[in-house]
Structure 1
Amino acid sequence: MTIPVRRFDAVIVGGGGAGLRAALQLSESGLKTAVLSKVFPTRSHTVAAQGGISASLGNVQEDRWEWHMFDTVKGSDWLGDQDAIEFMCRKAPEAVIELEHFGMPFDRLENGKIYQRPFGGHTQNEGEAPVQRACAAADRTGHAMLHTLYQRNVRANTQFFIEWMALDLIRDEDGDVVGVTALEMETGEVYNFHAKGVLFATGGAGRIYAASTNAFINTGDGLGMSVRAGIPLEDMEFWQFHPTGVAGAGVLITEGVRGEGGILLNANGERFMERYAPNLKDLAPRDFVARSMEQEVLEGRGCGPNKDHVLLKLDHLGPDIIKQRLPGIREIAIKFAGVDPIKEPIPVIPTCHYMMGGIPTNYRGEVVIPKGDNPEARVNGFYAAGECACASVHGANRLGTNSLLDLVVFGKSAGDSMVEFIKNEMPTWKPLPANAGQISLDRIARLDNQTGGEEVADVRAAMQRTVQARAAVFRNSENLALGVKEIQEVAERVKRTQIKDKSKVFNTARVEALELENLIEVAVATLISADARKESRGAHAHADYQERDDEVWMKHTLYYGEDRRLTYKPVHTKPLSVEYIAPKVRTF
């Protein structure tokens, strides 16, 4: 079967913040750019980001990018690459001012400057006191950013392919990336997108967990495609649990609530974070707060009939602040928790939120993998940005509001790198391999021909139960070893999934089955990587190895899917222009 071909200078998979920021860079450089997205771009998961985007503007109190860098390195538990962290924190003010000039409707101070609120782990002068660094548009910052970037792309004539699902990466005999295959959901047809450069901005994969703040579209598609194409995944053991998901629903309650003055209470009505983090209290980094909350529940101080959550109190802020700064949060609390936060507290529990690992990249957005003596050789024509990428600015734990910053800084950086590569190194297209797209056709044919197989929903639920039980906030050797065995059994079941609907037009059953093939790659990578790391660092809290071990474990994990093996590479300890920030014990 001949697969029809569409040809572009650049193809971007994913229409969220990182994909749109990169597309803008490419389209405005005069390159013919396509963005493939499973949903309309303004429905991408970036729209769910609530609290803000960090930048050391110093609009409310003195701030410096060096302090932002220190907080990010400390927040990462020294697993973050310091060159990439410096790059991001230095670029932050410029990135936010650029968004403002694009028309993003930030909240304002009385003097007209951008409003900034405090956020977890962000401090003045290396931990002295909380600092107001999160630039916010009420509690809908991601929504405002996504619409702003989409409008700029319409102006720049970026070409959108909406309700298209990328299926597989196309690499030639040299290992260079020359395109992707994609499924047009409306017709069920498969196309080859031939490109000089491909960027993945496919977002996270939080749907490997049973309880997640992630949208149903967050199925790790970029990671699954990378693994199948022989690209390793970096640091997949590190998953952030957001302290405040609505208990029983998983819907996100922004850290901005605590930035505005909200406090966490246990069943005794005690503000318990004062015991765990006497300086930063409720505004300690997320891994710290999530573990503290879990500890309260484990020690019997949980709230509700099942004593399985804690309370987030914000009624003392007053109706005006809640209605002005947190209108979306009030709406979520009423709809999903049945409480009005103006009158009563919100029941919350740590919930899977963010993937610190991903496709290995440098701060230029280039995908880099070990080759010969080089631990970070560039994969020609392949780029990644946003949550699916691991430039490792977040290391073992991300600070709140650094995710939106990551999207725009590295989206732009990757876009610049692609422009440079396409114009200087790839003036014409490399030919597509003769079998381009065959792997995708085989995957679809397997689903269409499978009989007597398993239901996709059953296998997906088994995967989510396993990951939730074995790789949650607290981990131990016995659980992780069991998890590795169980998730590999689930992976075998994925090979036998079936769909009853064989039609082509808008076949959501087929899309979900293909998404599960990506999710299982992420789930297996997570458990194998976590089982191997014998220490506690950031979000990886290991009950049998409770200390951080910098001598042995200050290194990045690389997981290869074809034989499920691990290798490691060093953390970048050399910043671009400042002195190395040496490791110390994290206290708050």
Structure 2
Amino acid sequence: MEYIYCDVIIIGSGLAGLRAAATAAEAGRGLKICVVTKVSGPRSHSIAAEGGMAGVLYPEATGDSYELHAYDTVKGGDFLVDQDAAVLLAEEAPREILYLEKIGVPWTRAPDGRIAQRLFGGMSRPRTAFAKDKTGFYIMSALYRHVRELPVELYEEHLATRLVVKRRRFLGVIALDLRRGELKLFRGRAGVVATGGGGRMFKLTTMGYANTGEMWGLALRAGLALKDMEFVQWHPTALVPSGILISEAARAEGGYLVNRLGERFMKRYAPQKMELAPRDIVSRAIVSECEAGRGFVHEESGMCYVGLDLRHVDRERLKERLPLLLEVVKTYAGIDPSEDLIPVAPAVHYFMGGIHTDTYGRVLASDGSWVRGLWAAGEAAAVSVHGANRLGSNSLSECSVWGRLTGEAAAKYAMEAPQDPAPDAEIKLIYEEEERRIFDKLLHRETGGISLGQVKAAIQNALHRGAGVFRHGSELERAISELTKASAQIGQINVHDVGRVYNMELKELVELDGMALAAHVVLLGAYFRRESRGAHYRLDYPARDDAKWLVHTVAYKYGEGIVVRWEPVRITRWPPEVRAY
């Protein structure tokens, strides 16, 4: 058993994870900070963020305020947002934008030299700072370089397989070293989970291949709770048929959405905001246009889509503000946006739900008590700042703000906490149990077994059927049945590669095992929530129901099943109102 002691263990190396690592290293001088991540280098999905990062930088010039940013966030989240979290986001985000500038992020500048900001969907003021349309690339490049200069140890290509939690206390994490094919035990006083989202649970997503969502399954097995997992954001403009993100920045720079009749159809759905309505509204509008027969049809895939029209936007402005878009659509669709419509359709983009935490990212157990020494940040967590629908450009702000807050708190806890009370014999037993699960139960060849791809496709199909842009009780029942059947087959999967070094088949199987458990929570939450709110739209319950459903869904594992309960939303300033755009 390889045993690595760390004072603070950060799982995940995206914006939230690296921001937590940087802060922990700066706040806890002399502490051993470890980052455990299944990717190599700055390749976490944060690098793919395009549009920008929200924050009130120049209130006098724009008429903006922290309160207005918080209100837009609460309204955009269809009032399922915990309002103290929205206020915290608004107050702290500007500090993070300036921090990132200090470590080398080259924010695009306005003619007067200030950081340029563009208007994003659901925002009432232009408050999204950006670096062309490669914001995530510039942020991750600068932050990764900065972290490498700090006393932080990076364990790259290490796939977390088990969170070690005993007696409501974080003890460490077990991870599979993909390079060597060995399990390692990381013991620590404090931990931060920052593993991102799970778009690859679905058939069509803008997310990278590393975003498989298995950490949510690991969290459930460790006795943690998940919150609001039914709220899955479909980004309205993914390139057809690949699903590659076409940033909201394209609409912020003046792009139109048109159907095959040439109509700017958003006038039917959000006449005030048009293309810059919140993402849930625009996604439903596109699907509605397709169902009404007003969409285009992609010949090879049969996918229905609409056109993103940038032909009226000055080409030099496109080159300056949207260079990545020009490159992507030319490479993957053979299109020049100055001359042709870009084919776009909704794809899974973000999870508003995640590991149940309090406002400051402290991870909560099934009974609502704090799991001592453990925090979560970014898309992996649900601090309830996005509610039922995330506004574009709030995600980078969330990752940076809560990355810093959790990193600071974890370092402080590690400096003050007593020595880990768990006896070595108990930890050794946990490690051996995990070793048997990975190498005996999952890694085996079975004659006539089921293929990994077959089971994965069944899980993705079940989620696509039940948790799509539009949902219905009967479809959810069918999807839950299909998912249950597919999950039961995981133990029968035939692994062809029984080697250990860089066994990508084993890696996918471990991910699938965790993903399937998390997928159950998504579908159960959607089935029980009998209303329509934000990204969750039930055709059989089309109205928002504040009397019954102004609550968070909290799910946890009990025996072999999942228990679902509900908690009230924290409303501190703005009572729910009709959400009109």
TM-score, normalised with respect to structure 1? 0.95
CA-to-aligned-CA distance 1:308-366 (integer Å, 9 cap, x gap): 11000012112101111101011111122221112111000011110111001122221
Gap runs ≥5 in structure 1? 124-130, 575-579
Distance in 2, matches of 1:392 and 1:331, equals 35
- AA partner of residue 116 (structure 2): Y
Partner of 2:333: 337
Partner of 1:208: 201
Distance in 1, matches of 2:68 and 2:516, equals 39
Partner of 1:128: none
Partner of 1:43: 43
- AA partner of residue 112 (structure 1): G
**Displacement after TM superposition at 1:447 (Å):** 2.0
**Displacement after TM superposition at 1:426 (Å):** 3.6
Distance in 1, matches of 2:498 and 2:514, equals 20
- AA partner of residue 412 (structure 1): R
**Displacement after TM superposition at 1:221 (Å):** 2.8
Gap runs ≥5 in structure 2? none
Partner of 1:24: 22
Range with greater deviation from structure 2 (411-420 or 237-246): 411-420
Kept in 2: contact 1:206–1:213 (CA 8 A): yes
Partner of 2:283: 290
Kept in 1: contact 2:388–2:536 (CA 8 A): yes
**Displacement after TM superposition at 1:450 (Å):** 4.8
Distance in 1, matches of 2:168 and 2:492, equals 30
Distance in 2, matches of 1:482 and 1:426, equals 50
Distance in 2, matches of 1:180 and 1:5, equals 11
Matched, 1:271 2:264: yes
1:411 to 372, 387, 403: 403
**Displacement after TM superposition at 1:428 (Å):** 5.7
Partner of 2:137: 143
Kept in 1: contact 2:359–2:383 (CA 8 A): yes
CA-to-aligned-CA distance 1:82-138 (integer Å, 9 cap, x gap): 111111111111111111111111001111111111100000xxxxxxx21110000
Change (3 A) 1:294 1:229: same
- AA partner of residue 350 (structure 1): P
Q: How many residues align?
A: 569
Partner of 2:119: 118
Partner of 1:258: 251
Matched, 1:400 2:392: yes
**Displacement after TM superposition at 1:427 (Å):** 5.6
Range with greater deviation from structure 2 (177-186 or 149-158): 149-158
Matched, 1:460 2:456: yes
Matched, 1:189 2:182: yes
- AA partner of residue 38 (structure 2): K
Distance in 2, matches of 1:455 and 1:203, equals 27
CA-to-aligned-CA distance 1:486-509 (integer Å, 9 cap, x gap): 111111011222211111111111
Q: Partner of 1:38: helix, strand, or coil?
A: coil
Partner of 2:446: 451
**Displacement after TM superposition at 1:370 (Å):** 4.3
CA-based RMSD? 1.4
Kept in 2: contact 1:266–1:302 (CA 8 A): yes
Q: Partner of 1:268: helix, strand, or coil?
A: coil
1:564 to 558, 562, 565: 562
Q: Partner of 1:309: helix, strand, or coil?
A: strand
Partner of 1:520: 516
CA-to-aligned-CA distance 1:169-208 (integer Å, 9 cap, x gap): 1122x22110000111111011110000111110000111
1:493 to 483, 489, 493: 489
Partner of 2:13: 15
Partner of 2:382: 390
CA-to-aligned-CA distance 1:255-285 (integer Å, 9 cap, x gap): 0000111010011101111221111110000
Distance in 2, matches of 1:369 and 1:429, equals 19
Matched, 1:217 2:210: yes
Partner of 1:127: none
Kept in 1: contact 2:442–2:491 (CA 8 A): no
Distance in 2, matches of 1:328 and 1:11, equals 34
Q: Partner of 2:411: helix, strand, or coil?
A: helix
**Displacement after TM superposition at 1:431 (Å):** 4.2
Q: Partner of 1:405: helix, strand, or coil?
A: helix
Partner of 2:432: 438
Kept in 1: contact 2:189–2:417 (CA 8 A): no
Kept in 1: contact 2:225–2:366 (CA 8 A): no
Kept in 2: contact 1:363–1:413 (CA 8 A): no
CA-to-aligned-CA distance 1:455-497 (integer Å, 9 cap, x gap): 1111101111111122100001110111111111111011222
Range with greater deviation from structure 2 (263-272 or 54-63): 54-63
CA-to-aligned-CA distance 1:136-172 (integer Å, 9 cap, x gap): 0000101111111111111212110111111101122
- AA partner of residue 70 (structure 1): Y
Kept in 2: contact 1:262–1:317 (CA 8 A): yes
Partner of 1:161: 155
Kept in 2: contact 1:192–1:436 (CA 8 A): no
Partner of 1:61: 62
Partner of 1:423: 415
Matches within 5 A, 1:361-380: 361-371=357-367, 376-380=368-372
Distance in 1, matches of 2:205 and 2:517, equals 18
Q: Partner of 2:304: helix, strand, or coil?
A: coil
**Displacement after TM superposition at 1:235 (Å):** 0.7
- AA partner of residue 140 (structure 1): K
Q: Partner of 1:540: helix, strand, or coil?
A: coil
Range with greater deviation from structure 2 (522-531 or 259-268): 522-531
**Displacement after TM superposition at 1:436 (Å):** 2.5
Kept in 2: contact 1:201–1:386 (CA 8 A): yes
Distance in 2, matches of 1:525 and 1:428, equals 32
Q: Partner of 2:402: helix, strand, or coil?
A: helix
Kept in 2: contact 1:365–1:384 (CA 8 A): yes
